[in-house]
Structure formats: structure tokens, C-alpha cells
Chains A and B, each alone.
Chain A
Amino acid sequence: MKFDDEPVPGYSLPILPGHVSPGRLERVLRAGKFAITSEIDPPDSADPAEVLKRAAIFDGYVDAINATDGSGANCHMSSAGVCSLLTRVGYATILQISCRDRNRIAMQGEILGGAAMGACNLLCLTGDGVQAGDHPQAKPVFDLDSISLLQVARNMRDEQRFESGRRIETPPRIFLGAAENPFVPPLDWRPLRLAKKVAAGAQFIQTQYCFDIERLRDFMLKVNDLGLLEGPDRVFILPGIGPLASARSARWIRENVPGVHIPDAVIARLEGAKNQKEEGKRLCMDLLNEIREIPGVSGAHIMAYRQEHSVAEIIEATGVLEGRVPWYPGRDDPKALNPESPEALSL
């Protein structure tokens, strides 16, 4: 799928009728294509070339790139910084804002700044507790929660108002997203809680890692019954998946990363394999194949932490893009831009 107005790096696309953002992610989702997003692990560095190098790994395979915001409560380059670098060369980005680190003054400023830099997708997150990361001595802020942040962001866009009521001259044209975790308690509340996020403004959802397809199926059935997948205010759901490196790392994640539910059968499957890393990738492909068959699913979010190179392989093997090649710098004119070159930044 190609648009006749593919991006000029650094410039926003026109906003199509019925759309809220100039972003390609919203276009792909509303066109009914199976969307793929992935995420960059921002560097512990101030080197812009490092960011572009990490993004280029996904070239031609993803519709938008999440830049995580202090994921796992660890300190890295900011999401806004990463998004700003990427949008300058034309990538579609998803700015993440976690309520853990900033109050409402800082967060609203970031939403405006991010939108001005062309980051037209926003993922509103509560954030892991500070105890999970490398700065457990930090002050947890949590001035807003993910749902009130969604509502604030939506009002900034649709009412052109800050939370204080003060007017915004040019509103941020952003497609609003949130996370959900259908795999942890209280399981029967999760679909209803998603409804609350949609009521607060969520238009797309990226879920926590899915390793339990039955729970996802159950969740999607209920979400569908609630009518959340229809109408102009519908929500697009992208379940999260990722390759596990080994049974040992799966066990470690299960015990140490908050909110990741890995059934024993998954660990047993990895343990029984000769090459656990390969098996982890195959498991991820199997999950992706199952997920795309679940009614109501709009795409997938692939989180391949420290295995970013496997994203292309997973997408190729499953054929989920159905021949689509999402835009990347140089797709249409290979000579135009080498995104890894420092010149690409001087736009």
C-alpha cells in the first residue's frame, strides 16, 4: 500500500477526512490493513547516529516505531528526543509518556513539543514503579494516571484546552493510544477497564506481551461484545508479542518484569528445544499467526528487546504485511537519503 503523498522527511502529511492525525499509523489502521509496530530501546547515549542506527533495523517492516520512555524505570535517552530525531528523517513514531516521572505541567508541554516535532502518535502510560529500575531512590510522581492523561491529551486536541482550561492556539494533532494488560488480575475487569480508556480517549491499544492466546481470545470476545471495535470512536487493538531468548530468560522475565504472564507450557516448549533462541522466534511467529486470526485484532506490536534484528525475520516468515512495504527513508529513492549518515540530521 502506497499513499500518493508519501512523506517528505520532516514534514507532516495532510490529515485525511475522519482522521485526527497526519500520521501513517492511523492511515494504515483506518484503511483496515494489519499494522505492525515495534519499539526502539533508546540508547544510554547522546549520540543521534545511534538512534538512527537502531531505527534502520526496522526499515520496511514497521508502520510506526515506539520510543520507550524510561522503560522498566531505567534511565535512557528521552522518548521525545528519540521521536524528534526520527521524525526529522520521516519515520512514523509513537511518543510514550509515562506518568511516573512528570507532573501534568511537564507532560502537557511534552505533548505540544512532541506534536510540533511531528510525533503524531501518543502512548499514555502509567509506568512501572521506580523500584523496578536503576534509580529506586527516585521520587515517583504519578500526578496523573494513564486514564486521566488520556483525557487531558484528548481535551488538548479536541477542546484546545490545557487541563487548567487555558486555551491552546494550535492543538496537537495526535492519534491517542494506551496500553492494556489482558493477562493479569482482575481478569474479568480488564475488558471493562479498556472501555474506560476508550471513553477517556484511547484510539489504539498496544498490549503487554501475549504468551497466552486463550486469555487474549477471551479478552477480545468481551471487548467486541462491549461494542468497542465499531463506529467512529472505535479502538484498534495491537497485541504485544516478542521472541524469548531462552527458558532461563523467560523465567527471569516472569519473576522480575512486572505484569508479564508466561504460562508454564511456554517455558516447557523452550526447554524442550535444541536451540532455544530459534524456538523462541518460532514461538513468536506461531503467536503472531494465531493473533492475526482473532476477530477484531488490528495489528501487532513486536517488542524484541535485544533481538531487534529478528523482527524482520518474524514478519517475513509470517507474511503479515501481505506484500506491503511500509515507508522508510530511501524506500522510494534509495539515493535520496542514508539515514545513518550525519547529513541526514542536518535537515
Chain B
Amino acid sequence: MYRVRRWVVRHARVFEMIYRRFEPVLVKLAPVWRRLGHERVEAPVRRVEKAAKGALFDCQMCGQCILSATGMSCPMNCPKTLRNGPCGGVRADGHCEVKPEMMCVWVDAWEGSRQMKQGDLIHAVQLPVDHRLTGSSSWLRVVRQQDASSSSAANRETTR
């Protein structure tokens, strides 16, 4: 919901902290996910993820979440699905060019990122979306990635 997601962005720092606690728990449970089988847990985890992130961020389940690099404002709510910042069409009042009734997702993202400890992640160049991952669980993807490279702690991707 629009109002909820804007409230979340205003409290981006709190959500950043929650996520930082939540991620290691998910990763620690890696053996459990493995035993149950990733394919079998994908559907229930996806449902939980969709419900939780849908309610809070209007998550569109792109499957490659970058919320922690976007001030907790989901870039997939941008009508142009931009992943690297605002377009040049932002209105003088900060609203969207395509949907004038909506605040620009990236104006919100900028505000949110300024509150976050790792807010400067917003300056990282994001790769194009892999559309094969649309609809899949971003959480499990990160668990799998970190599980696979658990020995090398460097360059760890974060769960969002």
C-alpha cells in the first residue's frame, strides 16, 4: 500500500537494522533449507516473502531484491522500473512523470538512503534485471549464494 511503503521509507534505518538481524538467521538455517530441499521450500518461502514484502514495500517479486541499496523504496514500483536512480522527468514537487499522484520512487529512495548506515550503496551501479528470476524468492537466492560461498566472507551480498 502506498501509505505503508512511504512510512517504511521514512523509517528506513529501522528496517535496515531489522534486515541486518534477519539475514544471518536465514543464512544460518541453510542446512535446514538444504535438508528440506530448496525446490520444496521455494513455494512456501516465496508466499511468506511476498506477503511480508508486499505489505511493507509494495514488493513486485523481481527475485533480485536491492532494497538496502535503494533507501528501502522498491524500484520496481517506478513505472519505468529504473534500478539506478530517477529519470529526468521528475516533477518540481518530486512526483512521478508517469503517475502524477505518486511521489517519485527514487525521490523517496534518496530520502531513505540518507538515513541508512549503508545508504551510500545507492551509488553502486546495478546490473539489469534477470527476468528469469521474476516471481522467485530473493531470500532463498541469497541463502543459496552465501551457502555456496560461505568460506569467502568477502563481497557478501546482503539479504533484503
Contacts and interface: CB of A to CB of B under 8 A. Distances in A.
Interface of A: 99-100, 104, 126-129, 131-132, 140, 142-148, 151-152, 163, 179-181, 184-186, 188-189, 192-193, 195-196, 199-200, 208, 258-259, 261
B125 A132 contact: no
Contacts of B139: none
Contacts of B126: 147-148
Given A129-B89, A145-B81, 9 more contacts: A132-B97, A144-B128, A145-B84, A146-B87, A147-B125, A148-B126, A185-B90, A258-B88, A259-B89
Q: Give the most central of A99, A140, A147, A184: most B CB within 10 Å.
A: A184
Interface stretch (B12-20, B32-40, B103-111): B103-111
A99 B98 CA distance: 15
B80 A142 contact: yes
Nearest to A180: B88
Interface of B: 79-94, 97-98, 104, 106-107, 110, 123, 125-129, 131
Contacts of B87: 126, 146, 259
B97 A128 contact: yes
A148 B64 CA distance: 15
B118 to A, nearest CB: 16
- Chain B interface helix/strand/loop/mixed: loop
B79 A148 contact: no
A189 B128 contact: no
Please name the 9 residue pairs, one residue from A and one from B, whose CB atoms are nearest each other, closest first.
A181-B88, A258-B89, A147-B84, A129-B98, A258-B97, A259-B88, A259-B89, A148-B128, A145-B82
Q: Give the most central of A128, A143, A186: most B CB within 10 Å.
A: A186
Contacts of B80: 99-100, 126-127, 129, 140, 142, 145
A147 B85 contact: yes
B92 A185 contact: yes
Contacts of A259: 87-90, 97
B98 A131 contact: yes
Nearest to A261: B92
Contact of A186 (B110, B123, B129, B131): B110
B97 A104 contact: no
Nearest to B120: A192
Given A129-B80, A142-B81, A185 B89 contact: no
Contacts of A208: 88
B134 to A, nearest CB: 12
A181 to B, nearest CB: 3
Q: Give the most central of A99, A104, A129, A208: most B CB within 10 Å.
A: A129
Contacts of B125: 147-148, 151, 196, 199-200
18 contacts: A126-B80, A126-B82, A129-B80, A129-B89, A145-B84, A147-B84, A148-B125, A148-B127, A151-B127, A179-B88, A181-B88, A181-B89, A185-B94, A189-B110, A193-B85, A195-B123, A258-B91, A259-B89
